[in-house]
Amino acid sequence: MVSAKPPRATTKDEAGEDGRALTARQLTALVVARATSCAGFFAVLPYLGLWLVDSRGLSGADAGLVVGAAILANRAGGVLLVPLIHRLGLKASVGAGYLGAAVAFAVLGMGLTLPASGWLVLAASAGLSLAMATTALKAQVAAFAPDQRLRGFSYLNMAVNAGSAVGPVLGGFLLERHADALPLAAAALDLVALAAVPALPGAWRAGERPRAHAGGDGRGRGRWLPQRPFVVFSLLVCGTWVAYAQVFDVLPAYLGDSVNTRDLGLVFTLNAVLVVALQVPVSALSRRVLTRPRAGFGILCAAANVVLAAAVLLFAFGRSAGLGLLLGAMVLFTLSELVWSPLYDAQVAERRGALSTTAAYALAGVAWGAAESAGAWLGTLLAVRSSGPGALSPAAAPYWGAAALALLTGLVTSWGGRRKSDKPLSGQERNTHDVDVPARP
């Protein structure tokens, strides 16, 4: 664990709601907790169906249901658990989530003989527990000032990519050597994440203070009432997530036999390495852009989506081009992701209105997860059913469509970012990081 440096004077923009900036110790705890929990989940998830069929004797259909339950619970579970997170407090909820995931994975690895419904409950419990921890962790970071939020979410994005890269490698090794130890390894990694929780920001039982808002009394009755700016923002940036799905979820199916597995693994490894190496400096540059008078979220988001669109179009040529083009496309894709991924997370707190921070991140997570899932389903359907090596073949249609969506997202956010309102957003005093996404096109 890296120890914190001596405290220094902080500016208003650097200080959080409690008057402090994120310390080195807190940032280290964020990275350790997020990276190890992601590594544990992704060590199990890609191989869970195979493990259930080979080691536990489930049918393919039953194993598919169990895997689907784990994914759905992890994606949408935060919404179901918001009342519990409000009651426990953010830091305690992070700890409870990691503890619950460790227990669920440990029971999975105990060698029990269960019906398909039993495995489904255990897998869903692990997904729900991790969703609870992730939602509360994001709300903890969102409690800091805008500049510190973007910094914190940058470290979280770096940790997610590191964990999701290491996890499948660890899971594949264990599946070949000690298959029964696969869930136990995930449980051990969640215990490491749990050990980092005491160093996270905030007090154990501290809950989110109800937020005063125009038309409300500040007593928390609007915690579940998303307002139009938040809804528009959350739905608008779904275009980015659809484009993202074509790379991370559809690309293996699209490339098929055109690219061997080793080369495809190298392409995705490049993404993970670049995120870990470049996330912090790129986010520091993003923070400087956000503070410029003629820049801000709109310009930054537009630039990121233009680069994303270019990367997606290059991937469309992947069936007929060589490895070099795929690697170049992944570099562009990663540079885009380094900007928009932490930026969108930070903007959820900016645009939540009367929603509690916990509810805002849970609802945004459902919207973006649904967009990614829909994009992955449609993209895979078209890529698998269609044939043809060229970028103009029907199989490449998802990539052209995704590029158009990314460009449209960038265009609308850029236009909205130039329209500054004199009225403070969401009842807050305006700052240089606020964004005006238009309510109507």
Q: Is 111 exposed, middle or buried (0-12, 13-18, 19+ CB in 10 A)?
A: exposed
pLDDT in tens, 180-193: 889 999 999 999 99
- The predicted pLDDT at position 403 comes to 96
Domain with CATH 1.20.1250.20 in the chain: 24-199, 228-427
**Phi first, then psi: what are they for 207, rounded to 5°?**
-100, 175
Residue with tokens 């996404």: 437
- The predicted pLDDT at position 103 comes to 97
- The predicted pLDDT at position 223 comes to 54
Encoded amino acid at 60, one letter? G
Which tokens sit at 167?
């996890």
Task: List the chain residues with pLDDT less than 70.
Answer: 1-20, 205-224, 295, 385-391, 416-441
For residue 237, give the DSSP letter.
Answer: T
pLDDT in tens, 286-313: 988 888 777 688 889 999 999 999 999 9
CATH match for 228-427 among 1.20.1250.20, 3.40.640.10, 1.10.580.10, 3.40.50.1970: 1.20.1250.20
Q: Decide if 295 contacts 232 (C-beta within 8 A).
A: no
The closest of 227, 245, 229, 275 to 368, measured between CA atoms, is 245
CATH match for 24-199 among 3.40.50.2020, 3.40.50.720, 1.20.1250.20, 3.40.50.1000: 1.20.1250.20
- The predicted pLDDT at position 118 comes to 93
- The predicted pLDDT at position 58 comes to 86
- The predicted pLDDT at position 154 comes to 92
Which tokens sit at 295?
């820049």
| This prediction's pTM | 0.78
C-alpha separations of 192 from 11, 113, 135, 204, 388 in Å:
34, 28, 19, 18, 47
List b or e across 146-168, with b for residues whose CB sees 16 or more CB atoms inside 10 angstroms: bbbbbbbbbbbbbbbbbbbbbbb
